[in-house]
Structure 1
Amino acid sequence: MTVRAESEVRSPELAGRVEELKERARRLRRELPDSAAAADAENADSAESMRKIWEAGLYEFHLPRRYGGITDGDPGVLTEDFLEIVLDLCAGDSAAGMNYSVQTLVTTEIFGTDNGLPESTKAELAELITRDGVRLVASNAETGSARPVLGRVVPGGIRISGVKSFNTNSGGGGWANVGLRMSPDDQPMSYHALVPLDSEGVRCTHEWDMMGQRGTHSQTIEYNDVFVPDGYHFPRPGMSPGALSALFLAHSAIMLGPGYGALDAALDYVRKLDRSTLPGEFDSATTDPLVRRRIGEYVSTLGAARAYLLRTAGQVAGGMDDLDLTIESFAVKVACVKAALDVTAGIFDLTGARSASNRYRFDRFWRNARTFSLHDPTDAKEVWVGDYHLTGAEPPVVAYLRV
Structure 2
Amino acid sequence: MSAQQRPTPANPLQIARQLAAEFAETAAERDARGGTPKAQRDAIRASGLLALSIPTQFGGLGASWSETLSVVREFARVDSSIAHVFGFQHLMLATVRLFSRPDQWQPWFEQTARKNWFWGNALNPLDKRTVVKKFDGWREFSGKKSFCSGASDSEMLIASAIDESAGGKLLIAAIPSGRTGITLHGDWDNMGQRQTDSGSATFERVRVEEHELLLDPGPLSTPFACLRPLIAQLIFAHLFLGIAEGALEEARSYTLKESRPWFRSKAEHVSEDPYVLRHYGEFWAGLEAVRALVERAAGLLDEAWAKEHVLGSEERGQLALAIAAAKVNAIRTGLDVCSRIFEVTGARATSAALRLDRYWRNLRTQSLHDPLDYKLVELGDWALNQVPPTPTFYS
TM band (smaller chain) = 0.7 to 0.9
1:153 corresponds to which of 135, 141, 156: 135
The answer to whether the 8 Å contact 2:130/2:141 transfers is no
2:83 aligned to 97, 116, 125, which one?
A: 97
Asked if structure 1 preserves the Cα contact closer than 8 Å seen for 2:117 and 2:155, the reply is yes
State the partner residue of 1:401.
393
Return the alpha-carbon distance in structure 2 between the equivalents of residues 279 and 54 of structure 1. 53
Separation of aligned partners in 1, 2:202 and 2:368: 24
C-alpha separation in 1, matches of 2:271 and 2:197: 38
1:387 aligns with 2:381: yes
Q: Which digits, 9 at most, give the CA deviation of each residue in 1:253-282, with x for residues without a partner?
A: 122221011112112222211512455634
Q: Which residue of 2 aligns with 1:170?
A: 151
Measured against aligned partners, the alpha-carbon deviations of 1:38-61 in whole angstroms (never above 9, x if no partner) come to 221012223333233333322111
1:42 and 2:33 matched: yes
Find the counterpart in structure 2 of residue 227 from structure 1. Answer: 207
Going from structure 1 to structure 2, the CA distance change for 1:118 and 1:188 (only over 3 Å counts) comes to: farther
Residue of structure 1 in register with 2:16 after alignment = 25
2:279 equivalent to 1:302: no
1: CA distance, partners of 2:153 / 2:64:
28
Q: Are positions 1:108 and 2:105 aligned together?
A: no
Q: Percent identity?
A: 26
* 1:195-210 correspondence runs (5 A): 195-210=175-190
Report the Cα offset of residue 117 of structure 1: 6.5
Relative to 1, partners in 2 of residues 1:122 and 1:162: Cα closer, same or farther, differing over 3 Å?
farther
Partner of 1:135: 118
C-alpha spacing 1:148/1:402, structure 2 compared with 1 (3 Å): farther
Q: Which runs of 5+ in 2 are unaligned?
A: 1-6, 305-310
Closer/same/farther in 2, CA of residues 393 and 123 from structure 1, 3 Å limit: closer
| Aligned alpha-carbon RMSD (Å) | 2.8
CA displacement 1:4-41 (0-9 Å, x = unmatched): xxxxxxxxxxxx94440122223334332233322210
One-letter code aligned to 2:215: P
Contact kept? 2:125, 2:160, Cα under 8 Å: no
Residue 219 of structure 2 is aligned with which of 234, 238, 251?
238
State whether residues 142 and 165 of structure 1, in contact with CA within 8 Å, keep that contact through their aligned partners in structure 2.
no
Q: Give the conservation status (yes or no) of the 8 Å contact 1:44–1:214.
A: yes
Deviations 1:286-326 (A, max 9, x none): 34343333223212211210111111221222237332221
- Report SS of the residue matched to 2:393: coil
* Cα gap change, 1:164 to 1:113, in 2 (>3 Å): closer
- Whether 1:340 aligns to 2:334 is yes
> Secondary structure at 2:147's aligned position in 1?
strand
Note the C-alpha offset of 1:284.
3.5
When normalised by structure 1's length, the TM-score is 0.84
2:251 alignment counterpart: 266
More deviation in 275-284 or 82-91? 275-284
Q: 1:277–1:290: 8 Å Cα contact kept in structure 2?
A: no
The alpha carbon displacement at 1:164 in A equals 1.4
Structure 1 distance, partners of 2:149, 2:34, is 14
Stretch deviating more after TM superposition (212-221 or 286-295): 286-295
> What amino acid does structure 2 have at the position aligned with 1:207?
D
How far apart are 1:103 and its partner, in Å?
A: 0.6
Aligned to 1:52: 43
Cα separation, 2, equivalents of 1:246 and 1:144: 20
Task: Give runs of aligned pairs for residues 238-387 of structure 1, distance below 5 A.
Answer: 238-239=219-220, 240=223, 241-277=226-262, 281-319=266-304, 321-387=315-381
**Does structure 1 retain, via aligned residues, the 8 Å contact 2:23–2:79?**
yes
- Aligned partner of 1:304: which letter? A
> Residues 122, 392 of structure 1: CA spacing in aligned structure 2 closer, same or farther, 3 A cutoff?
closer
In the comparison of the two structures, how many residue pairs are matched? Answer: 375
* Cα offsets for 1:332-352 (capped at 9, x unmatched): 111110111011001111111
AA aligned to 1:54 is: R
How many angstroms does 1:170 deviate by?
1.6
C-alpha distance 347-28 of structure 1, shift in aligned 2 (>3 A): farther
Is the 8 Å Cα contact of residues 58 and 109 (structure 2) preserved in structure 1?
no
The whole-number CA distance in structure 2 between the counterparts of 1:334 and 1:277 is: 35
Instruction: Work out whether residues 125 and 170 of structure 2, in 8 Å CA contact, stay in contact via their aligned partners in 1.
Output: no
**Conserved? CA contact 1:262–1:343, under 8 Å:** yes
What's the TM-score once normalised by structure 2's chain length? 0.85
Aligned-residue offset at 1:357: 0.9
Q: 1:19 to 1:64 in 2, by over 3 A?
A: closer
1:173, 1:197 within 8 Å by CA — same for their partners in 2? yes
Instruction: State the secondary structure of the residue aligned to 1:231.
Output: helix
- In the alignment, the residues of structure 2 paired with residue 205 and residue 348 of structure 1 have an alpha-carbon distance, to the nearest angstrom, of 36
User: Contact 2:233 / 2:394 at 8 angstroms: preserved in 1?
Assistant: no
